[in-house]
Amino acid sequence: MIYPIVAYGDPILRKVASEITPENPKNLPQLIADMFETMHQAEGIGLAAPQIGLSIRLFVVDGSKTDDQEIKNFKKVFINPTILEETGQKWAFEEGCLSIPTIREEVLRPAQVRLRYYNENWQLCEETYNGMQARVIQHEYDHLQGILFIDYLNPLKKRLLQSKLAKISRGEVKHNYQMRFPNRK
């Protein structure tokens, strides 16, 4: 099942998401499959549960449809993740987000991230990721904390984007996938 993607302006994107258990939500394997399906049809490389209207600590990543060698084999499920440490030099990359279509901006993030999470089989994992893999994880993890990539922009850039963001929240934006807009009239 494909979920509509929640657009910028929806308060769910600003909440700190809650941890889950193997029993709750019901049918987690189906939900995970639906998140991959939703992400693929939107041509995203990451999708966090709040973006489909669920304030739970779960995100999926899949870079297999990109040309980026760093994430070509990067397909994973992260349940109840905690970032343990971010290290290395900050580097800039132009990010986008399925909840904020048409906007892309450079964001600085540390090169490495170490996190603890459960995989789809509820095995506890602790791993370090670098480069693009770290970047995708940091972006998706932020969604679970109620943070969006535009929050990192300087005040001037933020101000310049304001009217565009307001339009996005009203659904006045081009998008090639199903979305749900909080301020649509």
**Quick check: 97 binds Ni ion (CB under 5 A)?**
yes
Q: Give the up-direction half-sphere exposure of residue 57: CA atoms within 13 A in the CB hemisphere.
A: 18
Residue (174 or 185) nearer to Ni ion, CB: 174
Residue (79 or 143) nearer to Ni ion, CB: 143
Given 105, 126, 140, 172, which residue is catalytic?
140
- Specify the stretch interacting with Ni ion by CB under 5 A; choose among 58-66, 77-85, 92-100, 124-132: 92-100
Q: Under rule CB under 5 A, how many of the chain's residues touch Ni ion?
A: 1
140 is catalytic: yes
Residue (97 or 144) nearer to Ni ion, CB: 97
- The distance of closest approach from Cβ of residue 96 to Ni ion in the complex, given in angstroms and rounded to an integer, is 8
CA dist list (Å): 56 to 28, 43, 69, 110, 162:
11, 22, 30, 25, 28
**Residues acting as catalytic residues:** 140
Contact residues toward Ni ion (CB under 5 A) are: 97
